[in-house]
């Protein structure tokens, strides 16, 4: 499985501490030569290491704002969480500020989220699905499932993410309205999230992405703020309702579905815990599972600026403010769906999600069993302190790394010390032994 991740390491800043390796949910980081190293195929881009690193040595690659100039017509696709970054009571101001940055048009991902909700409701009613249906909106969670919970892949909602739907509709709309060819239109996601960048490079469930670039919220934050001060007249650009905007915070997606039997979980480690329970067949009565890698949901994304709890409150305020206009705003959703005659089939995954078998010890089960025994044997010799000094997150991972041939038992400082002690004892012993020419046993 192709999984070129977007999270990178600034070697200058990395101190080779073990904070990141401990927090990584897929054990994708090792410390080698005093620097963290990310194992490409294991990384799910959840951004946990970006948040954990005390030296800010982890960062996500995203596109710069200049990238948009490669296209004749530039569309900004602001994530719902973008709205929560600024203390602004009118969404239109924010969208207008994006135009001021050089975009020709905006299409709200929040509106696309409502369209996704519309089709998800249809999917829930269809017979084919496996319960609980697991949201596919968070690409890091989808990759977590592909890597650690392969048996839950069939529960994943096979519907395009709001970002993707937004890019698709925005491009079709401009093509139709302005007669501009599709490849001359650039759609750029204004993102709180590193995993979306990876998604654009290697999409989940689709052959290609309609998104041309991902720009970090933090990279436009300052610019937008300064533009906001200048804006005088407000143009009506926003068509998203509170339900779509609500997707920015954990639980918003489920709330929009208007069902009672849902569970929403945020934080990648919490998500993993609940996925375990789903695996055990414990959450059978739950219809929908919304799992988001970041604490608080997308508002807590590693590329967002505002404190996630403050941001969450803003989302709540914006959503309830738009409540009065709910009917006219949901009419917009239907108008878009009808004008492009969109059907459930149009937003369904084109291809099945694959498992990412990087955690397997071997592709051959018998050989994997042998390796498993070896891992256990080595593990019994390790101290079990999970100190991380060897560069692997736990003693168990070190044991696996040894069996896979990536590490040695002497990487463990305790084993090394033990060996040195033995050696030292032997040296003392040898130093006490005199050569026969000097031996005086006859005394």
Partner 1 sequence: MLLELEFEIEPGNFILAGEASSKIKETLKKLGVKPEILKKVAIVSYEAEMNIVIHSVGGILKAIISKDKIEVIAQDNGPGIEDIELAMKEGYSTAPEEIRNLGFGAGMGLPNMKKYSDYFEIDSQKGKGTRVYMIIYNK
List contacts with partner 1 (CB under 8 A): 148, 150-151, 153-154, 276-277, 279-282, 355, 357, 359-363, 365-366, 368-370, 372-373
> What contacts 398, CB < 8 A, 6 or more positions away?
378, 382, 390, 392, 407, 411, 412
Classify burial at 218, counting beta carbons within 10 Å of its beta carbon; exposed 0-12, middle 13-18, buried 19 or more.
Answer: middle
To which H or E segment does residue 316 belong? helix 308-321
**What is d(CA 211, CA 189) in angstroms, rounded to the nearest whole number?**
7
CB-wise, 9 or 402, nearer to partner 1?
A: 402
Least distance to partner 1, CB of residue 366, Å: 6
Tell me the three-class secondary structure of 190-254, residue by residue. EECCCHHHHHHHCCCCCCCCCCCEEEEHHHHHHHHHHHHHHCCCCCCCCCCCHHHHHHHCCCHHH
Q: DSSP readout, 247-308?
A: GGSTTHHHHHHT-SSEEEEESHHHHHHHHHHHHTTTTTT--EEEEESSTTSGGG-TT--S-H
Q: Which of 115, 77, 113 is closest to 95 using CA atoms? A: 77
CB-wise, 44 or 299, nearer to partner 1?
A: 44
Least distance to partner 1, CB of residue 133, Å: 16
Least distance to partner 1, CB of residue 291, Å: 18
To which H or E segment does residue 415 belong? helix 413-432
CB-wise, 147 or 254, nearer to partner 1?
A: 147
CB-wise, 126 or 280, nearer to partner 1?
A: 280
CB-wise, 154 or 335, nearer to partner 1?
A: 154
**What is d(CA 365, CA 361) in angstroms, rounded to the nearest whole number?**
9
Cα→Cα distances 428→36, 165, 400, 440, Å: 39, 73, 35, 19
CA 169 to chain centre: 24
Least distance to partner 1, CB of residue 15, Å: 32
Cα→Cα distances 204→40, 89, 154, 157, 164, Å: 17, 35, 14, 11, 11
- 26 neighbors 43 (Cβ within 8 angstroms): yes
CB-wise, 98 or 353, nearer to partner 1?
A: 353
Least distance to partner 1, CB of residue 148, Å: 7
Least distance to partner 1, CB of residue 329, Å: 38
CB-wise, 35 or 371, nearer to partner 1?
A: 371
Three-state DSSP at 33 gives coil
Copy the structure tokens of residue 302: 């590693």
Least distance to partner 1, CB of residue 404, Å: 11
Torsion angle of the four alpha carbons 245, 247, 252, 258, in this order, in degrees rounded to the nearest 10: 80
Least distance to partner 1, CB of residue 23, Å: 19
Q: DSSP readout, 382-408?
A: S------TTSSSSHHHHHHHHHHTS--
Least distance to partner 1, CB of residue 295, Å: 23
CB-wise, 280 or 432, nearer to partner 1?
A: 280
- 207 neighbors 378 (Cβ within 8 angstroms): no
CB-wise, 16 or 150, nearer to partner 1?
A: 150
CB-wise, 217 or 358, nearer to partner 1?
A: 358
- 294 neighbors 300 (Cβ within 8 angstroms): yes
Least distance to partner 1, CB of residue 183, Å: 38
Least distance to partner 1, CB of residue 271, Å: 16
CB-wise, 44 or 115, nearer to partner 1?
A: 44
């Amino acid at each position: 499985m192709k999984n070129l991740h977007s999270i990178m390491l600034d070697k200058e800043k990395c101190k080779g501490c073990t904070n990141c390796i401990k927090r990584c949910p897929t054990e994708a980081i090792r410390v080698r030569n005093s620097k963290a190293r990310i194992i490409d195929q294991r990384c799910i881009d959840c951004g946990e290491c970006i948040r954990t690193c005390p030296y800010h040595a982890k960062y996500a690659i995203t596109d710069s704002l200049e990238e948009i100039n490669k296209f004749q017509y530039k569309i900004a696709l602001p994530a719902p969480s973008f709205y929560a970054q600024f203390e602004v009571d009118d969404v239109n101001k924010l969208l207008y500020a994006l135009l001021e940055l050089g975009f020709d048009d905006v299409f709200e991902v929040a509106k696309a989220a409502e369209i996704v909700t519309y089709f998800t409701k249809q999917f829930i009613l269809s017979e084919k699905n496996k319960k609980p249906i697991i949201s596919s909106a968070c690409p890091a969670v989808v990759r977590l499932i592909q890597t650690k919970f392969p048996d839950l892949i069939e529960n994943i909602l096979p519907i395009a993410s709001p970002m993707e739907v937004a890019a698709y509709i925005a491009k079709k709309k401009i093509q139709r309205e302005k007669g501009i060819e599709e490849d001359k239109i650039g759609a750029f996601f204004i993102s709180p999230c590193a995993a979306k960048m990876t998604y654009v490079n290697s999409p989940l469930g689709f052959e290609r992405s309609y998104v041309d670039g991902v720009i970090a919220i933090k990279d436009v934050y300052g610019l937008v703020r300064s533009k906001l001060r200048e804006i005088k007249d407000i143009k009506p650009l926003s068509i998203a309702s509170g339900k779509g905007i609500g997707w920015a915070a954990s639980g918003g997606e489920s709330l929009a579905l208007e069902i009672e039997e849902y569970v929403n979980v945020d934080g990648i480690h919490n998500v993993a815990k609940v996925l375990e329970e789903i695996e055990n067949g414990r959450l059978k009565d739950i219809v929908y599972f919304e799992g988001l890698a970041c604490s608080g949901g997308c508002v807590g994304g590693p590329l967002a600026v505002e404190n996630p709890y403050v941001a969450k409150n803003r989302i709540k305020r914006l959503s309830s403010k738009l409540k009065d206009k709910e009917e006219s705003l949901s009419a917009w959703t239907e108008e878009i769906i009808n004008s492009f005659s969109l059907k459930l089939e149009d937003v369904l995954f084109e291809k099945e999600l694959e498992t990412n078998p990087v955690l397997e010890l071997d592709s051959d089960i018998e050989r994997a069993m042998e390796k498993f025994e070896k891992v256990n044997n080595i593990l019994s010799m390790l101290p079990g302190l999970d100190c991380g000094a060897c560069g692997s997150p736990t003693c168990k991972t070190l044991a696996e790394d040894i069996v896979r041939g990536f590490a040695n038992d002497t990487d463990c400082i305790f084993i090394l010390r033990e060996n040195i002690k033995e050696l030292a004892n032997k040296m003392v012993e040898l130093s006490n032994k005199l050569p026969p020419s000097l031996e005086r046993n006859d005394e």
